[in-house]
Structure 1
Amino acid sequence: MLKRLAHVTLYVHDCEEALRFYTEKLGFEKRMDSRMDDGSRWLTVGLPGQEIEIVLHDPTHWHREDVAQEMLRQVGKNPMWVWETDDFGSTYETLRQRGVKFVSEPNEVMYGMEVVFEDLYGNRFLLLQPVFL
C-alpha cells in the first residue's frame, strides 16, 4: 500500500545554482548530495521539519542525449506548487528581501492570502496563508 510521497523532481540546468536559490532564498536545507562516478548527482532539498524532498535534477548525466534534451526543454515549465505559511506578511517580506521574484501582488481571496513567485528558471509557485473555513 502507498505510504507517503517521498520525492518530487524539478528539472534544473545547474544543480549548484538551483541549490543556492532553494537554500539561500527560500530557506530549504540540503538533504542528500551524492555524486556518482559517471558524473551524475543525486541532490535533494527539503523544508525543515518536513519529510518530502525535492530532487534538483540535471538530466545531462543521467539519460541518453535525446532524453536529457527533452527534459531540459521542460525546465521552467513545472506545474505550480503551493507553499503554505502561517505568517504571510513575514514570509513574503523575507522572500522579497532575499531577491525572490514575485509575479503578482499579495492578494486576499476567500481562502486566504496569496502571491505568486518564480524560481530562477521561471517555475511558478503560490505562497498561501490559508483561512480554514
Structure 2
Amino acid sequence: MLRRLAHITLYVKDCEEALQFYTEKLGFEKRMDAKMDTGARWLTIGLPGEDVEIVLHDPSHWHEQETAEKMLAQVGKNPMWVWETDQFEQTYHTFREKGVRFVSEPADRMYGREAIFTDLYGNPFLLLERIRV
C-alpha cells in the first residue's frame, strides 16, 4: 500500500540557478545535495516544516543523451502546482519584491484569493489563500 508522497521531480536546466530561485525567492530550504562521481547531482528542496521534497533534476548527467534531451525538452512544461498561504497579501508582495514574475493579478474566487506566478523556467504555480469555513 502507498504510504505518502515523498518526492516530486522538477526538470531543470541548471541545478544551481534553480536552487537559488527556489531558496532565495520562494523561501524553500535545501534538504539534500549530493554529487556523484559521474557528475550527477541529487538535489532536493522543501518548504520548512513540510515532508515532501522537490527534486531539482538536471537530466544531462543522469541519463543517456537521447533520454536527457527528451527530459530537458520538458523544462518549463510542468502542470500547475498550488501553493497555499495564510498570508496572501504579504506573500504576494514579498515575491514581487524579489522579482518573481506573476502572470495574473490577485483575484478573489469563491474558494479564496489567488494569483498565478512562474518559476525561472516558466512552470506555473498558483498562490492561494483558501477561504476558511
2:119 is aligned to 119
1:44 is aligned to 44
1:32 is aligned to 32
Give me the TM-score of the superposition, normalised by structure 2.
Answer: 0.99
Alignment of 1:12-23 (within 5 A): 12-23=12-23
1:74 aligns with 2:74: yes
- Alpha-carbon distance between aligned partners in 2 of 1:37 and 1:119, rounded to the nearest angstrom: 29
| Superposed displacement of residue 3, structure 1 | 1.0
| Superposed displacement of residue 132, structure 1 | 3.2
- Alpha-carbon distance between aligned partners in 1 of 2:73 and 2:129, rounded to the nearest angstrom: 32
| Deviations 1:28-79 (CA, angstroms, capped at 9, x unpaired) | 0000000000000000000000000000000001011000000000000000
| Deviations 1:82-101 (CA, angstroms, capped at 9, x unpaired) | 00000100110110111100
| Superposed displacement of residue 103, structure 1 | 0.2
Unmatched 5+ stretches in structure 2: none
Q: Which residue type is aligned with residue 68 of structure 1? A: A
Alignment of 1:84-103 (within 5 A): 84-103=84-103
| Superposed displacement of residue 21, structure 1 | 0.1
Say what the alpha-carbon RMSD is for the aligned residues. 0.6
Q: Which residue type is aligned with residue 48 of structure 1? A: P
Give me the TM-score of the superposition, normalised by structure 1.
Answer: 0.99
Q: Which residue type is aligned with residue 52 of structure 2? A: I
SS at 1:91's partner residue? helix
- Alpha-carbon distance between aligned partners in 2 of 1:17 and 1:44, rounded to the nearest angstrom: 13
